[in-house]
Amino acid sequence: MPALTDPIPLLQALVRAPSVTPETAGVLDILEKALTALGFSVERPVFSGDGSYTVENLFAIRDRGGKRLLLAGHTDVVPPGDLEKWTRDPFSGAISDGVLFGRGAADMKSGLAAMVAAIARMAESGADEAGTLALLITNDEEADAINGTDKLLAWATERGHSFDFAVVGEPSATAEVGDVIRIGRRGSVSYRITVSGKQGHVAYPDKALNPLPALSRIGAALSGTPLDAGTAHFPPSSLQLTSIDVGNPTSNVIPAQGSLRFNIRFNDLWTPEALDGWVKAQIAKAEPGSAGVSVDRLGRPSRVFRAPVEGPVVLLIETIKARTGRAPELSTGGGTSDGRFIAAYCPVVELGLPGPTMHQVNEQVRIADVEALTALYEAFFSRYLKG
């Protein structure tokens, strides 16, 4: 038990497991051993299908009645990239000058290690006698996110589990632990637009139909038209072109077609269905003429979610103020997380470390930050479960 109260050895062990999506590389074994020692019942559901790879997940629960707190996160990491650019082995968990290095150190094995250590400290002090704790951990957040948290939540619900509040351990802070709580996220939806014409020789444009002028006008209409100015709780929606593809290797051929891809991060003024109509309106505004135009959504959209600033969120704010002397910023900015799935089951927030190096070469975390996050988790978990 005493070893589990220190998050750093556990974080090193997790980083040393090269769990690039969807390979677990033993990382779930490490967590199962730690959580079993803390009195949790652990199951490892495996999901597959729906056009994606097979994923192993972990669900752990220690049911003592009372309030039901869900802790969530992911063990999978992105590939390390060019190994020559790393100053240390990306899966070594090496420590130097108070900093721990490795892929996943920031995003987000540190959050999981801090959660486990906080629970171990509660057990050591006797502060864990009330309330129910559950951990929902996937190895499929960084890629498809199809056979991970979404299905794991449905699986848990089918078995009678329910939750009152959830904390996701994703990197959420900006400069210091506790300076930001992410209480929601914008939605996300991606599209591909394909414009078709007729291939021909550039010297005889009258015998061809060039799709690229129409494609250019559509791209300009999409990127040049603001969606909104933001709302009381969310920043402005944002559309970003991500790719324009023609696949034409020569300079004397008018291509038969071209396509562009883009992503929209949208606030609570929009739904994916409403954005479908907005996209089609921009295409019409661009006057594609006789060129053929098709629009496809790419993948599954993520919907907007926001936790109400009441009850557990207020308690979390008070806990942070008591420990740091300052009130945290309540943010709905940034990308997406698995919180988008959890929000359908209970209110959810994200609370984790600063993550300026996540997904970068030489990803790293300050040991002092991991310790600060562990202490903050311990304080909040104890207060919340006591009611």
78: domain CATH number is: 3.40.630.10
Say yes or no: 268 and 310 in one domain.
no
Tens of pLDDT, residue by residue over 146-168, are 999 999 999 999 999 999 999 99
pLDDT of residue 336: 81
Report whether pLDDT(2) > 60.
no
- Look at residues 317, 378, 386 and name the one whose alpha carbon lies nearest to residue 7: 378
- Of 302, 336, 359, the domain-final residue: 302
How much is the pTM?
0.89
Say yes or no: 104 and 149 in one domain.
yes
- Of 246, 281, 302, the domain-final residue: 302
Say yes or no: 217 and 141 in one domain.
no
Q: Which domain holds residue 361?
A: 2-185+304-386
Report whether pLDDT(33) > 60.
yes
Say yes or no: 230 and 314 in one domain.
no
CA distances to 19, 58, 285 from 33, rounded to whole Å, are 17, 12, 59
pLDDT of residue 166: 98
Q: Give the pLDDT band of residue 129 (cuts 50, 70, 90).
A: confident
- Of 302, 331, 347, the domain-final residue: 302
Say yes or no: 358 and 326 in one domain.
yes
What is the average per-residue pLDDT within 52-62?
A: 98
32 catalytic? Reply is no
Q: Give the pLDDT band of residue 353 (cuts 50, 70, 90).
A: very high
- Look at residues 368, 289, 376 and name the one whose alpha carbon lies nearest to residue 328: 376
Say yes or no: 251 and 284 in one domain.
yes
Say yes or no: 199 and 318 in one domain.
no
76 catalytic? Reply is yes
Say yes or no: 151 and 195 in one domain.
no
Query: Is 228 within 8 Å of 275 (Cβ atoms)?
Result: no
Domain count, the chain: 2
pLDDT of residue 255: 96
Say yes or no: 262 and 340 in one domain.
no
Report whether pLDDT(112) > 80.
yes
**CATH number of 239's domain:** 3.30.70.360
Q: Could you tell me which residues are annotated as the binding site for Zn(2+)?
A: 74, 107, 142, 170, 359
Q: Could you tell me which residues are annotated as the binding site?
A: 74, 107, 142, 170, 359
pLDDT of residue 127: 80
Tens of pLDDT, residue by residue over 326-341, are 999 999 988 788 999 9
Catalytic residue among 141, 268, 350, 378: 141
Say yes or no: 282 and 147 in one domain.
no
Say yes or no: 132 and 239 in one domain.
no
Say yes or no: 234 and 249 in one domain.
yes
